Amino acid sequence: MDLTEKRISGEEKYNGVIISVTLDKVELCDGKQTLREVVHHPGGVGVLPLDEDGNVYMVRQFRYPVGAPTLEIPAGKIDRHDDHLDTAKRELSEETGFSADEYIDLGCCYTSPGYTDEIIHVYLARGLHKGKSHLDEGEFLNVEKMPFDELFGMVMRNEIIDAKTVIAVSKAKLYLK
């Protein structure tokens, strides 16, 4: 069975700084029509920085939509003309001050394909070199160093539920075996 849904028409409902939202009329595979709300996002990256002693560097920042601080891998939005590796390098430097000799592509994932086209690319960064962080205006965070195994335990105990972090840590654990 062909499961493709065909867009018939669409109307932009919101166009913001980062996202836009459309309400699309689609034809389903059975010929019926329905509406789909779609959040369009330029995509993002997340980087898990791992030093030679097995420590990782995480960022803790307040996330307004969930009303709490979260512990996450350094991450950010892909700018219009950048590729995801360049974005990974930029975000790691901005948020932690680190650069890396090696960026290992751990893959990508859709964040929530039921309503958004956002895709996140995740990397493992090794061969770290410390520099000075340079946060974006209005960005406030703390960098926290911890053993990778402690971070993996936090993921497994659901103490960290940020999707990009869970995916990066899980994939890195398999990669490092």
Report the catalytic residues: 137
Radius of gyration of the chain (CA): 18
Neighbours of 60 (CB within 10 A): 13
**CA–CA distance from 130 to each of 9, 17, 93, 135 (Å)?**
50, 31, 9, 15
Sign, CA dihedral 7-84-82-17, equals positive
Give the Å distances, CA to CA, from 105 to 22, 47, 68, 78, 121.
Answer: 31, 9, 29, 16, 8
Angle at 107 between CA 102 and CA 112, to 5 degrees: 140
